[in-house]
Amino acid sequence: VVKVESRTVDPAEQQMLKRAQAEGIETIWDRADKMKPCPIGSEGACCRICSQGPCRVPPPKKAKPGEEQKKQAVGVCGATAETIVARNFARMVAAGSAAHTDHARGVAHLFKEVAHGRAPGYELKDAGKLRAIARDYDVPLSVGEGDDKKSRSKEEIAQDLAEKVLAEFGQQSGELVFSSKRAPKKRVELWRGLDVMPRGFDREVVEIMHRTHMGVDQDYKNIIHQCTRCAISDGWGGSMLATELQDVLFGTPVPVLGDSNLGVLKEDHVNVIIHGHEPLLPELINAASQDPEMLEYAKSKGAKGIQLAGICCSANEILMRHGIPVAANFLGQELAIITGAVDAMVVDVQCQFQALASLVKCFHTKLITTDERGRIEGETMYIPFDDHHGPEIARKVLKEAIDNFPNRRAPVIIPEQKYPCVVGFSMETIRYLLGGSIRGSYYTLNDNIIGGRVRGIGGVVGCNNVRTLHDNAHLSMVKELIKNDVVVLTTGCNAIACAKEGLLTPEAAIKYCGAGLAEVCETVGIPPVLHMGSCVDNARILLAAAACVRAGGLGNDISDLPAAGAAPEWMSEKAISIGHYFVSSGVYTIFSAAWPTTGSEILTDYLFHGLESELGGMWDFELDPVVAAQKMIAHIDKKRAALGIDK
């Protein structure tokens, strides 16, 4: 029997893994043990884009002294390792960007329907943010002149804005609005000079697919060039749009207290897990769960109430807007079901194991898919969401969960671990908390960085990866950073790992931080690790970085900031797109767990070193998360020295 401690550092999840072992239930760790990854594929050195292959071009063995060094093989068509590896990397960027942008598309469609009053259950909650976005998109906020000047209603503004936003998906030329207006001036000029300003969301993804088709772009630098344009269209486009429009519809997050880990489930309540990425339906499920009629219905089935809990990025969305507890991150999705306490798991898109469908058959749990793009063979039920019948659909989903409460069969075992967390640090909240009252900007944060109390900023984000000890890299890296006075901005599954460890509380500052950062956290009353949301909310980190630049004192571009980014347990294609837009924005970005381009030394060297002279940011890879953190700190110190604030 495998020791559960070798699989996850989380004691609640270890308990569930023990149960799985005892009852012969298979989890992702068991499947990973059985599945040996293909070494050539993991280096990216395998091409299967045409039927003359697959062609394998692994790096040749190093020649022994006196022997002639063998050349690296090329594909049947002559494609070099550089081309093949770059193509594979590019397709990851395309898929990741497509996921974020297609998420934005759904939000934009809903936004339009809300603006026209055709989407019951929703409203335009944040009028201030609506106007700010409208200004960027040149949508007039008023009509008439002089004495006749009249402000336009929220709905009128939103209707115009929706058209402009939706047009950007199919836009063929020109520039995306956020990319050109929200990035620092110097960055935009750099991008224009390099000809990497994105033209339209869909176009950039399609172009990667075309260029990486057999026999098209066979110059690795040119392939990466298009990766840069596509990644910018994600970070400073699709992801940012998803985040901003969600804020308009559901509210911009402000600090809120929540709970984390499997102990948030309640034996005597109907437990509904919200798992996936798009908060459109979860927002309404939350509203429905507070409906007295629904509560009565739950009681009629013998439950004391309804407990919602999240997994993955939907968890982050509803946690930071409503304080709904988070049960687990990516690798905990099966373990939640293994409690035997989950009456329904509601999924939409992204990061959902197909294995859930067979796992729920060992328990009473209903697996409810809700998105036409994300069906799972063997799902218990499909209740498709649509913009026009949201509240009805949310009630239907909830009713299915309640009806299932009396069907629990396996003994319910809920781990007791449950930790509080303070979340909801949107770019605006950080500005409010760490901004000077006079300047109303990020000046106080900058001032603390210049003064050295805060050494720099670390963005630590991203997935879990079953090939690494679950949550270990996240936690070791974050602790190393805050110990060295680097304030951490977090999203995604890293944020959930930190929540479960108690790092998202102001008290964590005294326990884990260096003296300088601890003092700042204590004065302001914030945790040293600031939860900024889901993975599309990495756009909030970009906006925070742009705000730091604008506040002054730390150079003129994001690449001047003492800042670094990381995804210590990444696994998804989305993570590669995110990483590449951080690099394209001028950030030193380091990944752990695995690196997908080792099949070409030349290409890897270009990503790790060559890009710096073009973009000011570059990729890096380091397996050991503490060493990776030290490399981030070294980069931060390099930037401090360049700014002359070395001490």
Residues that bind ligand NFS (CB under 6 A): 277, 312-313, 329-330, 351, 462-464, 492-493, 535, 572, 574-575
Of ligand NFS, ligand SF4, none, which one does residue 435 interact with (CB within 5 to 8 Å by kind)?
A: none
- Residue 470 CB, shortest distance to ligand NFS, in Å, is 12
Nearest to 239 by CA among 538, 579, 584, 547: 538
Binding window for ligand SF4 (CB under 6 A); candidates: 51-59, 64-72, 610-618, 636-644: 51-59
Q: Do 259 and 325 form a contact (C-beta atoms < 8 A)?
A: yes
Question: For residue 378, what are its two tokens?
Answer: 């063997």
Q: Is 436 in the site for ligand SF4 (CB under 6 A)?
A: no
Q: Do 276 and 348 form a contact (C-beta atoms < 8 A)?
A: yes
Q: Is 73 in the site for ligand SF4 (CB under 6 A)?
A: no
DSSP 212: T
- Residue 79 CB, shortest distance to ligand SF4, in Å, is 4
Rounded Cα–Cα distance for residues 80 and 71 (Å): 11
Q: Where are the alpha helices (DSSP H) in 552-624?
A: 573-584, 601-605, 611-615
Of ligand NFS, ligand SF4, none, which one does residue 295 interact with (CB within 5 to 8 Å by kind)?
A: none
Owner of token pair 């997908």 = 596
- Residue 26 CB, shortest distance to ligand NFS, in Å, is 20
**139 versus 230: smaller Cβ distance to ligand NFS:** 230
Owner of token pair 């911009």 = 252
Of ligand NFS, ligand SF4, none, which one does residue 492 interact with (CB within 5 to 8 Å by kind)?
A: ligand NFS
Q: Is 210 in the site for ligand SF4 (CB under 6 A)?
A: no
Residues of this chain, 80-99, that bind ligand SF4 according to CB under 6 A: 84
Pick from 4, 25, 47, 98: which binds ligand SF4 (CB under 6 A)?
Answer: 47
Binding window for ligand SF4 (CB under 6 A); candidates: 76-84, 521-529, 546-554, 627-635: 76-84
Of ligand SF4, ligand NFS, none, which one does residue 59 interact with (CB within 5 to 8 Å by kind)?
A: none
Does the bond joining 54 to the residue before it have cis omega, within 30 degrees of 0?
yes
**75 versus 255: smaller Cβ distance to ligand SF4:** 75
Q: Is 506 in the site for ligand SF4 (CB under 6 A)?
A: no
Binding window for ligand SF4 (CB under 6 A); candidates: 46-54, 61-69, 519-527, 595-603: 46-54
- Residue 481 CB, shortest distance to ligand NFS, in Å, is 18
Q: Is 551 in the site for ligand SF4 (CB under 6 A)?
A: no
Q: Is 45 in the site for ligand SF4 (CB under 6 A)?
A: no
Pick from 21, 26, 32, 53: which binds ligand SF4 (CB under 6 A)?
Answer: 53
Burial of residue 446, with CB atoms counted within 10 A of its CB: 0-12 exposed, 13-18 middle, 19 or more buried: buried
Q: Is 262 in the site for ligand SF4 (CB under 6 A)?
A: no
Q: Is 153 in the site for ligand SF4 (CB under 6 A)?
A: no
- Establish how many alpha carbons lie within 13 A of residue 154's alpha carbon, considering only the half-sphere containing its beta carbon: 14
Q: Is 79 in the site for ligand SF4 (CB under 6 A)?
A: yes
Q: What is 226-237 written as a DSSP string?
A: HHHHHHHHIIII
Q: Is 40 in the site for ligand SF4 (CB under 6 A)?
A: no
Of ligand NFS, ligand SF4, none, which one does residue 41 interact with (CB within 5 to 8 Å by kind)?
A: none
Q: Is 50 in the site for ligand SF4 (CB under 6 A)?
A: yes
Q: Write 12-15 long-range contacts (CB < 8 A, 24+).
A: 12/261, 12/262, 12/263, 12/335, 12/415, 12/416, 12/417, 12/500, 13/262, 13/328, 13/331, 13/332, 13/335, 13/415, 13/470, 15/413, 15/415
* Residue 487, beta-bridge partner list: 457
Q: Do 211 and 217 form a contact (C-beta atoms < 8 A)?
A: yes
Q: Do 644 and 495 form a contact (C-beta atoms < 8 A)?
A: no
Rounded Cα–Cα distance for residues 131 and 112 (Å): 15
Q: Is 327 helix (H, G, I), strand (E, B) or coil?
A: strand
Sorted by sequence, the CB contacts under 8 Å of residue 31 that are 6+ apart come out as 355
- Residue 311 CB, shortest distance to ligand NFS, in Å, is 8
- Residue 214 CB, shortest distance to ligand SF4, in Å, is 4
DSSP 59: P
* Residue 563, beta-bridge partner list: 457
Of ligand SF4, ligand NFS, none, which one does residue 412 interact with (CB within 5 to 8 Å by kind)?
A: none
Q: Do 369 and 352 form a contact (C-beta atoms < 8 A)?
A: no
- Residue 207 CB, shortest distance to ligand SF4, in Å, is 18
**277 versus 479: smaller Cβ distance to ligand NFS:** 277
CA dist list (Å): 389 to 133, 293, 375, 395: 27, 18, 20, 10
Binding window for ligand SF4 (CB under 6 A); candidates: 53-61, 99-107, 153-161, 328-336: 53-61
Between 158 and 197, how does the x/- string for binding to ligand SF4 read (CB under 6 A)? ----------------------------------------
Q: Is 52 in the site for ligand SF4 (CB under 6 A)?
A: yes
- Residue 465 CB, shortest distance to ligand NFS, in Å, is 9
Binding window for ligand SF4 (CB under 6 A); candidates: 49-57, 128-136, 285-293, 503-511: 49-57
Q: Is 214 in the site for ligand SF4 (CB under 6 A)?
A: yes
Of ligand NFS, ligand SF4, none, which one does residue 185 interact with (CB within 5 to 8 Å by kind)?
A: none
**277 versus 580: smaller Cβ distance to ligand NFS:** 277
> What are the φ and ψ backbone dihedral angles of 623, each rounded to 5 degrees?
-65, -40
CA dist list (Å): 581 to 227, 493, 541, 567, 621: 9, 19, 11, 13, 16
- Residue 331 CB, shortest distance to ligand NFS, in Å, is 8
**87 versus 574: smaller Cβ distance to ligand SF4:** 87
Of ligand SF4, ligand NFS, none, which one does residue 463 interact with (CB within 5 to 8 Å by kind)?
A: ligand NFS
Residue 299: in which H helix or E strand, if any? helix 292-300
**322 versus 470: smaller Cβ distance to ligand NFS:** 470
Sorted by sequence, the CB contacts under 8 Å of residue 222 that are 6+ apart come out as 211
Rounded Cα–Cα distance for residues 193 and 635 (Å): 25
Question: How many degrees, rounded to 5, is the angle at CA 318 between CA 128 and CA 332?
Answer: 150
Q: Is 55 in the site for ligand SF4 (CB under 6 A)?
A: yes
Of ligand SF4, ligand NFS, none, which one does residue 53 interact with (CB within 5 to 8 Å by kind)?
A: ligand SF4
Q: Is 151 in the site for ligand SF4 (CB under 6 A)?
A: no
CA dist list (Å): 317 to 144, 202, 472, 607: 39, 25, 24, 32
Query: What residue ranges bind ligand SF4 (CB under 6 A)?
Result: 47-50, 52-55, 75-77, 79, 84, 214
